Structure formats: structure tokens, C-alpha cells
Amino acid sequence: MSTNTPSNGPYDAAFQGSRGAFSEIAAWELLTPSANLLPCPSLVEVFEAVQTGVAAHGVIPVENTLAGSVPGSLELLYQYKFFVIGETVCRIEHAVVGAPGVKMEQVKKVLSHPVALGQCESFFRKHADIQAVPEYDTAGAVEKVIKENLRDSAAIAGRRTAELFGGVILADNIQDHAENYTRFLLISRENKTASNSVRCKTTIVFKLANAPGALVQALRPFAERGIDLTKIESRPIKGSPFEYWFYVDLVSEPGTSKMAEAAIKNLAGVCSTLRVLGTYPSR
């Protein structure tokens, strides 16, 4: 894997975080290890880089097997009207990284992205005297700890960041469970529908009328066709109290895309708004 500093644009993809972030690894898996990548401090800046053409693609985390959904990712995908054209799943192993010479007993604060902190709750229960401090990124937290030579603080990130930024590993594999994975999406301004000859995943978002049985009615077309729904999530609609968007991932086996399309068409007839965010090879 390349560890070179990104060159000037145009970039193959933008990702949220600093070099060494898990999103960077996901970008290499989704594109190539030689891809020209743009680190961005926030998810919004990833979307802006794609919107303005600075980057051809964006790589965004959407869910983790321990901490759940990543806040903001799906909402931004809908807001910017981008398409999902690929996905990958990365194994996440966390380490506590400190500045050279720092010992674990000196650490009073541990910095990291809120989702990463949520994956390491048992560590904080074991070290009740250590404060969890949210930062915009895992690797960025390590970079801050090392650059500022913090003596009472460390960061939670992948162990690779210790090598990248010159830190030391104070504790390893501190995630709550060994089976810790994060799913990342490859997004683009241009749609790219996957071939009908491969197993595909389709992500849709829709809004239902507030009526009894509306959700059952909406999902019936998929049940009747035996289509697997791998994710159903409701998210509040800003400005519309107690109304929700429903985000759904459905899987179609090779040669069955027409069935999925028919089910989505039926769904469109019972909801007030529906948009297909993309059909892409399932990982």
C-alpha cells in the first residue's frame, strides 16, 4: 500500500481523515493502492470535493458492526444527489497510540473519532480515570498527539498510524469485539449500474405517509419476490418533526435484477418520495 503524500489534484478519490485513517485503506481497496487520494477533515468536505470535481470519487463510512451507523453519511448522500457505485468492508483493529516516551499510566485523555470511541467502551470501563475526547478522525487524533507532543494524552487509531506519525503503541486490539468491521461506500456524481451477472446491492431512500400499515405495505413487494433486505434504517427528516426517511439496502442475485426493479416500482406507488441511490457489486 502506498504511503506517499497525495499530489495535487485532480484526485481519484477524497476520504475523511488524515493519512493512516481506515477510510484511506478502504479507498485503496475500492480503487487501487496507487490511487491519488485527498484527505479531508470532515465528511462535508469529501462531498464538496466530489461536487466541485476536485476528486472523481468519495469514500465514506456508513456503518460499523459494533457502533452502528456513522452519523451524517446517508443524509449527505441524499442531500448531494450522488450515487453509490461500490462498497467494501474493512476489519477494524484499534490501538492506543501515544507520543514517544509516554507511558500508559501518564494518560488522562484519549482522543479519537466518536464512532471509534464507541467501539472501545470496555477499554474506558477498565480505565475509568481516562477521559474519552472526540476528534474529527482517528489518524488525525494520532497526528495531533504526536505533533503537539502531548504527555497526558493518547489517541485511538489503527496501529499503522504509530509508524506513520512516529508514535508508540501503548495498548493493542482494544476494540470491544474481535469481529469489528466498518462498511465503506464509493460515491460519484455519475451513476454506474452494476452488471446483472453479479450479485448486486441496491440502496434506496423513501418517505412514507404517516398511516397505519404503511411500512408493511412498502416492504411487501420485496417479501413477495423473496428479495433479501440487508439493512433498514429510519432517519429523522430535518425540519419535519417526527417524520422519517427510510434507507434500505436490498440484494439481488445474478440474473434477478428485473425482480428487484419491479419491487422498487411497486414501492414507488405507495410512498410520497423515492430515490435509488445506486446499484453496485455486493461485498
Delimit the domains of the chain by residue range.
11-92+181-188, 95-172, 200-281
Average pLDDT taken over every residue of the chain: 93
Task: Note the pTM of the prediction, 2 decimals.
Answer: 0.90
Q: What is the mean pLDDT of residues 54-79?
A: 95
List 184, 206, 222, 246, catalytic entry: 184
Same fold, 95-172 and 200-281: no
Evaluated on CA atoms 18, 19, 22, 25, the torsion sign reads positive
Q: What are phi and psi for residue 209, nearest 5 degrees?
A: -70, 145
Given the candidates 1.10.580.10, 3.40.50.80, 3.40.190.10, 3.40.50.920, the CATH classification of the domain at 95-172 is 3.40.190.10
Beta bridge partners of 83: 188
User: Tell me: domain 200-281, CATH 3.40.50.720, correct?
Assistant: no
194 falls in which pLDDT band (50, 70, 90)?
confident
Residue with cell 463510512: 61
List 138, 161, 182, 279, catalytic entry: 182
Edge to edge, what strands does the sheet with 131-134 contain?
A: 131-134, 109-112, 153-157, 95-98, 168-172
Beta bridge partners of 181: 91
Write down the H helix ranges in 38-113.
43-51, 73-80
- The radius of gyration of the chain from alpha carbons, rounded to an integer in Å, stands at 20
* Contact status, residue 206 vs residue 218, Cβ threshold 8 Å: yes
- For residue 61, the Cα-to-chain-centroid distance in whole angstroms is 1
4 falls in which pLDDT band (50, 70, 90)?
very low
Q: How far apart are CA 97 and CA 165, in angstroms?
A: 10
At a CB cut-off of 8 Å and minimum separation 6, what does 36 contact?
6, 7, 9, 10, 11, 12
Which one-letter amino acid corresponds to residue 211?
A: A
Query: Could you give the percent of the chain with pLDDT greater than 70?
Result: 97
Q: What tens digit of pLDDT does each residue of 89-112 get?
A: 999 999 999 999 999 999 999 999
Which one-letter amino acid corresponds to residue 221?
A: P
Q: What tens digit of pLDDT does each residue of 204-252 get?
A: 999 998 888 899 999 999 999 999 999 999 999 988 898 899 999 999 9
274 falls in which pLDDT band (50, 70, 90)?
very high
Residue with cell 445474478: 254
Q: How far apart are CA 142 and CA 145, in angstroms?
A: 5
182 given a catalytic annotation: yes
Residue with cell 486490539: 173
Question: Of the candidates 25, 146, 31, which has an alpha carbon nearest to the alpha carbon of residue 85?
Answer: 31
In this predicted structure, what is the pLDDT of residue 92? 97
* Contact status, residue 75 vs residue 120, Cβ threshold 8 Å: no
User: Tell me: domain 11-92+181-188, CATH 2.60.120.620, correct?
Assistant: no
DSSP secondary structure letter of residue 237: P
Question: Of the candidates 115, 98, 120, which has an alpha carbon nearest to the alpha carbon of residue 63?
Answer: 115
53, pLDDT greater than 80: yes
2, pLDDT greater than 70: no
7 falls in which pLDDT band (50, 70, 90)?
low
8, pLDDT greater than 90: no
